[in-house]
Structure 1
């Protein structure tokens, strides 16, 4: 969702979005294959970080999804905010926001289930794209109608309210405040009201109830985007200010973890602050290097990915990239030997995807939502 105007475009945002997508468009598989082939401690550690924790806790891979949602929020002041400054009608902007959110929900259903007609009980409705669409939609509506002060109030209400909701409720038959997969209130309510199947049977990590705190992730991105776009502070000082805010979020999220565990599956309030802190620090680093210092060439690889992130994410449901990689790189895999064959082909997947995105970029073909 990079709709910012060219005059104010955050090149760092496209690069950071591409950095984020890089890990799920093939880098994850590459490092897992490398760890299996070499059993080197560094490769094993990286591969471990590129897998989700089962329930409570945090690894690098748990950041990928919320970072993308955070960046959708960052882009809002550059898109919706720009149109507001031009005097656009709020009702028309509202319809555009809702339309984008619902399109992402639809894309998510297609991503989960393909273009198949299935019995209702076999269809999975929650998805990564639906979570982004719903959270982006409500965060943008808050941005559209609430003053900046009340946007912060909404942020606090969402996080504290979700904490209290799970603290004083539970699934029937479980003690109040139970946060296990079977016993927490959010998962129970999803099991009760959502049609179709849940990803983990009794729980879905992209369920409807846990979309509520995800609105906070979108709002945190909006705060960052509004600061970068509208604060009169000189650009050189904005990056460290973002970094300090990120560190503060990390500290608060880490302390809240003592009472409300950091948990991606439930998108707990401590998780929102912790991954929000990581996102702010990463944005500060990319912004300082690319937009402040002007060093862009090194980020070209990531920018190509970031400008068409939805396209490459959806493509795996329609294009057999591994088959394409074998077609181009099987000779190299044969030379490397059976032990490293999977590593070469995983690297080949990244290569063919990037060349595809580069071609789309050269032709100015983008999947916009």
Structure 2
């Protein structure tokens, strides 16, 4: 059991490391294409990172709550953890260096990565505690098909809804009505209200993978490989009528991302558990304090963008990047990547120190 959790922990750590890497380029003007999100439809490796983490949240829910009872004490723990995640996300969105260190209310973005994790964790945990696996499969199917029907066939302001960006996109329409100015951009929010619903399906698919890993069957790797391949193929087939799109968290995107997550997790499990080959131990260290490391990287990264230095009044991030990474002999994309790699390495080092000192901060 510990080995199985170790494989999941390693995958969780990998996603956090990639999150930090793609979120901290030296400059957004020069980034290698694989480290950028797709312009709209389609996906890049970067688009897979967040759904991978949501998927692993589901797998962890299975391990953590498969022996828990559906009672008030369990619900209390789930609720508190969810509120902590949402609170941390709101703090990141509201914090500023100007007294009283909170943005004007109209400028605060309500959705966010940690907020979505908190909401999805809460809903999925409650579902897991109250339904059997057949019922959960039915719920997952209803979410995916229902989201497609809602997004594709409900008109917006009397105009047929499309899967393009605003104005006649139902997800954006709902966000504008409910969130107003509290969105990432006025034409869409990648962690919006409506698109959080299919994210629950991503988490539930992770729950099913946890159940596969828990079984005593010897062909777990084969099952995960077949399941992963089937989900990727089905997602790409669905793409013809419901485009793969991270911003909308489309049903096809859910299937494709969960498919790749199963394939990668199967590979990690095979290498570490079946072949007994140890690699990337640092990912285990990061995975053991995943939310803490991610929050620290997000908060410090925001500080680097808020603090200004020198007579030119440039941000601390811009100053560090220009001073130490911009050189005539380096391509701009490589300079930007090296900055991000340095930031990522720093937080891996923090994770290592935490792990060696047996510091595990549970959010």
Q: Aligning the two structures, in what range does the TM-score lie when normalised by the shorter sequence?
A: 0.7 to 0.9
| Superposition deviation, residue 139 in structure 1 | 1.4
| Superposition deviation, residue 299 in structure 1 | 2.0
Q: Which residue of 2 aligns with 1:167?
A: 152
Partner Cα distance (1:256, 1:103) in 2:
36
- Structure 1 unaligned runs (5+)? 1-5, 37-43
Structure 1 residue 240 corresponds to structure 2 residue 208: no
Structure 1 residue 194 corresponds to structure 2 residue 194: no
Q: Which residue of 2 aligns with 1:301?
A: 282
Which residue among 14, 17, 21 is the counterpart of 1:19? 14
Secondary structure of 1:10's match? helix
Partner Cα distance (1:181, 1:342) in 2:
29
- Deviations 1:307-329 (CA, angstroms, capped at 9, x unpaired): 112112111344369779x99x9
Q: Which residue of 1 aligns with 2:312?
A: none
Partner Cα distance (1:18, 1:191) in 2:
34
Secondary structure of 2:263's match? helix
Q: Which residue of 2 aligns with 1:291?
A: 273
Structure 1 residue 280 corresponds to structure 2 residue 262: yes
Alignment: residue pair count = 342
- Distance change (3 Å), C-alpha of 1:31 and 1:64: farther
Structure 1 residue 265 corresponds to structure 2 residue 255: no
Structure 1 residue 224 corresponds to structure 2 residue 209: yes
Contact 1:213 1:269 in 2 (8 A): yes
Partner Cα distance (2:187, 2:336) in 1:
34
Q: Which residue of 1 aligns with 2:113?
A: 128
- Structure 2 unaligned runs (5+)? 305-315
| Superposition deviation, residue 189 in structure 1 | 1.1
Q: TM-score, normalised by structure 1?
A: 0.84
- Distance change (3 Å), C-alpha of 1:200 and 1:77: same
Structure 1 residue 60 corresponds to structure 2 residue 49: no
- Distance change (3 Å), C-alpha of 1:162 and 1:9: same
Partner Cα distance (2:322, 2:38) in 1:
33
Secondary structure of 2:276's match? coil
Secondary structure of 2:157's match? coil
Tell me which moved more, 144-153 or 306-315: 306-315
Structure 1 residue 10 corresponds to structure 2 residue 8: no
Q: Which residue of 1 aligns with 2:190?
A: 205
Contact 2:89 2:114 in 1 (8 A): yes
